[in-house]
Every structure is written in structure tokens, then in C-alpha cells.
Amino acid sequence: MAYDPRPPIVGSRIHLDLGAFRANVTAFRDLLGTGVAVGGVVKGNAYGHGLDAILPAAHATCDVLHVVTAGEALHVRAVERARDLTRRRVLVIGPVRGPELVDLAAAGVEVVVGDAGTLADVVAAAPTLGAPLAVHVHVDSGLSREGFAPAHLADALAPLATVGDRVRVVGLLTHFADVEDVTEQRQALRQLEAFAEGERVAKQLLADLGRPTELERHTAASAAALVLPPSRYDAVRVGIAAYGLWPSRETRIGVRAVLGREIDLRPVLSWRCPSQVVKAIEPGAYVGYGCTWRAEESTTVAVFPVGYHDGYPRLLSNQAHVLVRGRRCRVLGRVMMNHLVVDVTRVASPGDDVVATLIGRDDGAWVSADDLAGWAQTISYEIVTRLGAHLPRDVVDDPA
């Protein structure tokens, strides 16, 4: 690294409430009962929250941890060793190749075979594996992303005949295309039918190969686990909801309709930034690049050292508000790489030091990742996963 990576003294910080994470996972456990394993998805730097910061809570509360890369999985193992924790099941849901497979098998990490390249490499690596490799087969039931379509599954998996018992097929999964965006689940129900067909084909093939046919079946991410009970099977893969965010408005509505009650999700993350300066600008002054905002009257502005480099979307220019002293204050002009200018006329005076809440609670007021997503024409997933990995994380872990 060419520069000192210490965070600046005046800069934004992310605050993480691990008690909220634990409570969200517990809400799923209560909903699902004892027969369904709860997987926690910690891909994407734990949805931007920070993998290392989230790991203690995810490790303590989830039955399985889902990651996308081999590197993330091995990192979880390294943290377990460093902190003397017992191993959790870890499943790599993304693509894995050649040499990674040897390391993953040795580390007792499970992998998903969801594409021809991964399958070919699993078959090729089988004789070199020093430990058994547990494999979950991905059925493409209608997302057209990973997985083998049921009609092609038998042919696709035929090479498994050669792998011996170093490679063990232990699970079967699929992923839904359209649970979050709708309040009726026709497409998802079609996908469940395709998955059932995939299960039939896979079990037949395994039986023909003289292998165990007991498979852990998992299809549901957050939304399906909540609003589509037949998708719950043996395990669910909870991502966004574990962080206290709703997959969508439709899912929230669906929960009331399907469960007849509310589920309480507590956001884990807040994001705050102290001001660099609070000052007065004259009537007629412009704010920010492009001169897109002009003061009609004397205005008190706060400049905050946070911007799109840190993950505050530029699309929020002239759209968003932040909270200062418990009040909503408008973002003025363009969001810049490292700066945000906010109208604090009603709450502060020139020379004050103030703190902006970009995401989170301040007194009774609240600005959510969903609010930011709405202003930036995206979803909360993208807002939080794009928060800079460089931002310092303050973790609070109050046992609830």
C-alpha cells in the first residue's frame, strides 16, 4: 500500500449492531422451526457491512455460512483458527476451479457445482483430493444463471460416475428469479416444480451410481423463506434480511398476507459522518460541481467529508436528505467524490460541529438504506454492498 491506511480523524464511520443481526436470525429460527437449517449469506463483504465485523454474530447464530469465493471460505476458516472457534459449515455458492478445490476439501468447505467448468474441475481434481469434497448440485429452475436444467441434469452429472467417493453429493439447490418483485408467486411455483423434477433426476442418477441419495435441499433466499413456505425444504439461505433489510416492499406486504403477522427486522448498520465545516453562504451562491443548486437566501451549509468514493451514490445529488440533530436536512447540489454539502440552516450555526446520519436513526428520525435506494433508483442490496471496505467499522455486540 502506497499510503498510510489509517482512517482519517474526520471521516465517515459505519456502526454495526450485532445484537440486531442475532435477533434477525432468531426471528427466522422462530418462524421456520427446528427442522430447517438457517444459512447466513455473507458474500459481498457481508453485504457491505464488513465480513470480519459480522462474522462473530453470523458464526454464532447460523448453521451454515454462504460465501461466493474460495478465498472468502478459507478466510472464515482462518478466523475460526485465530479465534479458536469450532468450525461451522461453509458453502461456496460461486464458481470454483482447479487448485481451489484441493484447498477447500482440505478445509472441510462445501462447494456448489452449478456450471460445466466447475463440474469438469471437480472431476479432474477428484484423484488429487486429500479429503472428501462435499458437493451441492445447482438446478437451474428458471433463473438462467447457475445450475443445470432438469432436462440436462442426468447428462451433465454423468461424469460423476468416475470420481470415486472422494466427491460426495450432499445437497441440491436452486435460486428463484421472481419472488421479491411480485405479490403472487406463479413463477416461483413453476420453479419449485422444476426443482422437484431435478430432485427426481438427481436421486435416480445417484441411485444408479450406487451412491447415497439423501440430499439436503435448499431453495429459499430471504424473501422465499418468508412468503413461500413450500420453498423452505431442509435449509434456507438468508442474506439481506439477516442484516435487517427487507428484500422488497412486496415481500413486506406478502409477509402480512402469508403469515398473518409482522416479522420484526432490525437494521444492523448505521452510517455517520462528522462535519468538516459549517458555514454561511450568501444568497445567489451555488453549491457543488455543475452549479446545480443555488441559494435563494442566506443559507447555513455543512460540508461532510464523504462522497461517492465511500458508496454514497452520486444519483442522490439534490435528492436525498441526511439527519442532523434529529432533523431531515437536504443534500444540496451534486454528491462529490469525497464531499457532501447539506442544508443545516434550521439546525446549526456557522462554526458548529455536527454529525450527519447518512443511514440510521437520529433521535426519533430515521433514514434507511431503502430510502437511499429509492432516491438512487436501485435496491438496498446495492446501497449497502457498495459501502467502501475502507470505512472504519465500530461494532457493538450487546447480548440481547
Specify the stretch interacting with ligand PLP by CB under 6 A; choose among 15-23, 217-225, 276-284, 351-359: 217-225
The nearest distance, CB 210 to ligand PLP, in angstroms, is 30
Specify the stretch interacting with ligand PLP by CB under 6 A; choose among 128-136, 218-226, 290-298, 353-361: 218-226
Query: Quick check: helix, strand or coil at residue 270?
Result: strand
- Helices marked H in 62-185: 70-83, 98-106, 116-125, 150-157
Integer Rg of the chain from CA: 24
* Among positions 247, 254, 311, 360, the unique one binding ligand PLP when judged by CB under 6 A: 247
Given 3, 286, 289, 308, which residue is catalytic? Answer: 289
Residue among 136 and 334 whose Cβ is closer to ligand PLP: 136
237 is a contact residue toward ligand PLP (CB under 6 A):
yes
Nearest-CA neighbor of 181 among 237, 223, 139, 232? 223
The nearest distance, CB 218 to ligand PLP, in angstroms, is 8
Residue among 225 and 281 whose Cβ is closer to ligand PLP: 225
Long-range own/partner contacts, residues 213-217 (CB < 8 A, 24 or more apart):
214/170, 215/169, 215/170, 215/171, 215/172, 216/37, 216/136, 216/170, 216/171, 216/172, 217/171, 217/172, 217/173
Specify the stretch interacting with ligand PLP by CB under 6 A; choose among 206-214, 216-224, 312-320, 355-363: 216-224
Please tell me what DSSP assigns to residue 240: G
DSSP string of 287-348, one letter each residue: ETGGG-EE-SS-EEEEEES--GGGT--GGGTTT-EEEETTEEEEBPS---SS-EEEE-TTT-
Query: Quick check: helix, strand or coil at residue 17?
Result: strand
Total residues interacting with ligand PLP, rule: CB under 6 A: 13
Specify the stretch interacting with ligand PLP by CB under 6 A; choose among 15-23, 51-59, 237-245, 260-268: 237-245
240 is a contact residue toward ligand PLP (CB under 6 A):
yes
- Residues 6 or more apart from 186 whose CB is under 8 A from it? none
Whether 204 and 4 have beta carbons less than 8 Å apart is answered as no
Angle, CA 92 vertex, CA 43 and CA 194 arms, to 5°: 100
137 is a contact residue toward ligand PLP (CB under 6 A):
no
Residues paired with 24 in a beta bridge: none
The nearest distance, CB 288 to ligand PLP, in angstroms, is 34
Enter the C-alpha cell of residue 318. 439534490
Residue among 212 and 230 whose Cβ is closer to ligand PLP: 230
Measured from each CB, the residue nearest to ligand PLP is 239
Binding mask 261-300 for ligand PLP (x = CB under 6 A): ----------------------------------------
d(CA 108, CA 88): 9
373 is a contact residue toward ligand PLP (CB under 6 A):
no
* Among positions 41, 139, 202, 322, the unique one binding ligand PLP when judged by CB under 6 A: 41
Residue among 293 and 381 whose Cβ is closer to ligand PLP: 381
**For residue 383, which phi and psi values (nearest 5 degrees)?**
-60, -50
221 is a contact residue toward ligand PLP (CB under 6 A):
yes
142 is a contact residue toward ligand PLP (CB under 6 A):
no
Strand 299-304 versus strand 340-343 pairing type: antiparallel
Given 43, 47, 308, 381, which residue is catalytic? Answer: 43
Q: Which of residues 80-119 bind ligand PLP (CB under 6 A)?
A: 93
The nearest distance, CB 240 to ligand PLP, in angstroms, is 4
* Among positions 175, 217, 232, 334, the unique one binding ligand PLP when judged by CB under 6 A: 175
Residue among 81 and 145 whose Cβ is closer to ligand PLP: 145
Annotated catalytic residue 233 = no
Annotated catalytic residue 289 = yes
Residue whose C-alpha cell is 438512487: 376
The nearest distance, CB 354 to ligand PLP, in angstroms, is 34
Angle, CA 56 vertex, CA 53 and CA 62 arms, to 5°: 120
* Among positions 238, 344, 347, 387, the unique one binding ligand PLP when judged by CB under 6 A: 238
Residue whose C-alpha cell is 485465530: 82
By annotation, the residues acting in catalysis are 43, 289
Q: Which residues bind ligand PLP (CB under 6 A)?
A: 41, 43, 93, 175, 221-223, 237-241, 247
